[in-house]
């Protein structure tokens, strides 16, 4: 599903060279600035399963704390997981899990750095891995859990400025 905030302007793919080959973007001349991104991932399951997950009474134990740590760890390791991402000095990562409906959780990951490139991928990786961890912790109770969407909610800093999902 495409984002309604996007325009029909020509697409410039920064990770592709003139021959169409994947490449890492050279950010050496980009000024260092504070950059922040927030991403989210949904977790949908039976209400009783979410009750147990949030209460920490599932067989694997305290799911939310485990997911929070997994999301933080994943955000810090994004440069080693996504081939063309720059390894970034992460200044801050936070993961929140909130119930937004009887059958739905929202996982939000906020990442911040002072660097030459943004932290959107770190925030999205943190949210995705936290959601996957919640699935892993609860799958014995409900294999029908659905994850997604995983999406960027907002970002600030850098040449492209601020983005906020409508």
Active site residues: 136
Comparing CA positions, the residue from 99, 101, 98, 121 lying closest to residue 38 is: 121
Torsion, Cα 39 40 41 45, to 10 degrees, reads 170
Question: What is the token pair recorded at 115?
Answer: 């660097």
DSSP letter at 13 equals -
How many Å apart are CA 83 and CA 85, to the nearest integer? 6
CA–CA gap between residue 115 and residue 153 (Å, rounded): 20
């Amino acid at each position: 599903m495409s984002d309604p905030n996007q325009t029909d302007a020509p697409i410039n793919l920064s990770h592709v060279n003139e021959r169409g080959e994947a490449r890492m973007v050279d950010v050496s001349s980009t000024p260092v600035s504070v950059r922040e991104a927030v991403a989210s991932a949904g977790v949908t399951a039976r209400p009783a399963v979410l009750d147990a997950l949030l209460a920490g009474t599932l067989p694997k134990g305290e799911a939310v704390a485990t997911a929070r740590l997994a999301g933080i760890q994943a955000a810090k390791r994004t440069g080693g997981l996504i081939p063309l991402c720059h390894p970034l000095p992460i200044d801050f990562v936070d993961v929140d899990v909130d119930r937004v409906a009887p059958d739905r959780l929202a996982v939000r990951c906020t990442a911040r750095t002072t660097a030459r490139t943004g932290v959107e991928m770190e925030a999205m990786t943190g949210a995705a891995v936290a959601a996957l961890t919640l699935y892993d912790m609860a799958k014995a109770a409900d294999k029908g859990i659905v994850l997604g969407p995983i999406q960027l909610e907002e970002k600030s800093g850098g040449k492209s400025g601020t983005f906020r999902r409508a």
